[in-house]
Chain A
């Protein structure tokens, strides 16, 4: 009984005048816990870079960093020669082309949603565009295999190929085999998949344009479109840039849909309709299956190159978005 009273008393004490210890200790534990968790993330990112580098070191040592980057032979059988240029090239070409295809439509959607569409329509458009980013890559892949690739082959690639064969045979090597799986198909799918990133950042940037800016040009008698073109877009330029760069980063890292649709060919030259490969797709295809240690190490080294590429792209995009303090497509 007495003990209970004592306990109650001490609890009362704590409640009445929370001791300095309670404050100090609680804050210490809490802050060090959250800092530890924060540091975990830093360690994860650094650890990832380190693991990829350490595991890829054997290949980088064997061929030299630039030799590895520019080597054009990927031969796991006879010469045990590993150069990543075909995949680097395939990645840059498909991503670059996808960005070129998607950037203007993506900006157009952002402009329409921000400037023209009524509020309810704008909300629907935004949600649908964000939904594109939410669709799992493998779902787009299975759709690509059974719907898109056969359709593209029959309605576009084959007719173009037959036309070229009849009237411009010189084009044939450039076009490549119109089988449905290949660089063009992968690029088309990629360009759809990256639209949301450009759109989201562009729209953020447009929203951040000061009202005064618009009012000024409207006062000069500009039409709605002229206001957008002369007052809004120039102001939003860096946001659009950031969106485009972020989209490029997504395209470079996109793995499953590309691996399912690009045709997986490891040697240059690539052609427009013909098969190719990208850095992520070659990792997916070969990582579980590589026998030679050097082969495994080369795949890890590709991962390291991919890491650096993604790092540079994200640093640029992060720099721009932080500078503008726009939300950076957080919803994605």
Chain B
């Protein structure tokens, strides 16, 4: 039996290693300096061997991802505090169900929602709409991890704070939240990593762009490129040059996500060491 379990485990892990192997080998051979300094432009650029790259995509990704983070962190943590610190609140059961629902919704629906919510009224696809769409991916994850991180702090700590006359909000902010900090950071990193890899919500919101926008505000008001969405269009393009650029995008994206993943693991481990 043991042997069978070992074999199955290997069979499950093996495809992961194969994927990483292919992404790394194909990606590394496609990586070059132009990738980080040039814009994409037209396919004929790549085919005629002129410099072409994804600098606009890298910037767009950072802007959209961090915008999403800026929206999602306050909402997610606020909701997590409501769930954990005000357990008597009547809306909590509903919030918990709705948060789980939102978490389980396919990301593409969040894209459709953001399209109706932002793109249509604004009249154009934009980095802002992309950031909002991605924040819908992050929020439920952050809310959920925040709740469990705060719950893991014993009530006695809160009681001690209240006993010395501190108001409840001070207890939460200066005692409970710092104690649960690693848990919160883990949740944020997981949400971030998860959202950073999503392409589906971005196709209808941040849309894509072959160049850098003309101004910094253009990142928010105009369509921008993002790694997952560009990777998708490179992968389904018919040009061999764009295929290899797709692999390069894949290794960058995968590296980015794995970094967040490892950082999240580190944070969790520290928590265990402390306790």
Contacts and interface: CB of A to CB of B under 8 A. Distances in A.
Q: Are A and B associated in one complex?
A: yes
A41 interface: yes
A303 B109 CA distance: 6
Contacts of B172: 30
Contacts of B13: 125, 128-129
A31 B18 CA distance: 49
B98 interface: yes
B91 A44 contact: no
Interface string B1-16: 1101110110111011
B87 interface: no
Contact of B85 (A34, A131, A284): A34
B101 interface: yes
A34 B232 contact: no
Contact of B167 (A22, A104, A125): A22
Interface string A144-164: 011100000000000000000
Contacts of A35: 82, 86, 89, 91
Contacts of B6: 112, 116
Residue of A42, A55, A105 with most partner-chain B CB within 10 A: A42
B98 A45 contact: yes
B274 to A, nearest CB: 18
Interface string B195-219: 0111110011000000000000000
Contacts, number: 265
B100 A314 contact: yes
Contacts of A104: 8
A182 interface: no
B163 interface: no
Contacts of A306: 106, 109
Interface string B114-131: 001100000000000000
A141 interface: yes
B56 interface: no
Interface SS of chain B: helix
Interface in B165-217: 165, 167-170, 172-173, 190, 193-194, 196-200, 203-204
B200 A255 contact: yes
Given A30-B172, A38-B79, A303-B112, A45 B9 contact: no
Contacts of A109: 5, 8-9, 12
A47 interface: yes
Given A131-B16, A253-B106, A105 B11 contact: yes
A8 interface: no
Contact of B236 (A105, A116, A260, A288): A260
Contacts of B265: 127
A297 to B, nearest CB: 12
Contact of A113 (B9, B168, B170): B9
Nearest to B79: A38
Interface string A4-48: 000000000000001000110011011101111111111011111
19 contacts: A30-B169, A34-B82, A37-B74, A37-B82, A40-B79, A45-B105, A55-B112, A112-B9, A129-B12, A132-B12, A145-B235, A146-B22, A147-B18, A253-B105, A253-B107, A254-B106, A280-B200, A300-B112, A310-B105
Interface of B: 1-2, 4-6, 8-9, 11-13, 15-16, 18-19, 22-23, 26, 74-75, 77-79, 81-83, 85-86, 89, 91-92, 94-110, 112-113, 116-117, 136, 139-140, 143-145, 148, 165, 167-170, 172-173, 190, 193-194, 196-200, 203-204, 228, 231-232, 234-236, 243, 246-247, 250, 253-254, 257-258, 261, 265, 268
Interface of A: 18, 22-23, 26-27, 29-31, 33-42, 44-48, 51-52, 55, 104-106, 108-109, 111-113, 116, 125, 127-132, 134-143, 145-147, 192, 195, 199, 225, 246, 249, 252-256, 260, 280, 283-284, 287-288, 300, 303, 306-307, 310-311, 313-315, 317-318, 322, 327, 330-332
